Structure 1
């Protein structure tokens, strides 16, 4: 009897997960249909303004392989 309840709970959780995924996919499809040519989101890898100059990269200290594994210099 305990095994039947466990299997039933697992099946119900799978069905609930499938329903949730279906609902989220439907909402996503509606958003895509409503805004098919919207601007790219910030940080998606595409630049919003072609004339804007990139910011200067920050320089990170270079560590050796040995320093990385030992936690750096002490």
Structure 2
């Protein structure tokens, strides 16, 4: 008789745990669904570009103008 009660209690605890976990997962999914990750934060909208993009200066890199410094460091 005690064994049957113990088995019933263990099964009940397992089922109660499964129901609790299922409800917590559903609640978590609702929170994730309500939060829009792709939207910008309020007040921090995406800026529109009013002019052309900044360009990288054309020409040799700064360290290429003095090759003797590059050779001496080796």
**TM-score, length-scaled by structure 1:** 0.49
Higher helix share: 2
Which protein has the larger Cα radius of gyration, Structure 1 or Structure 2?
A: 2
- TM-score between the two structures when normalised by the length of structure 2: 0.49
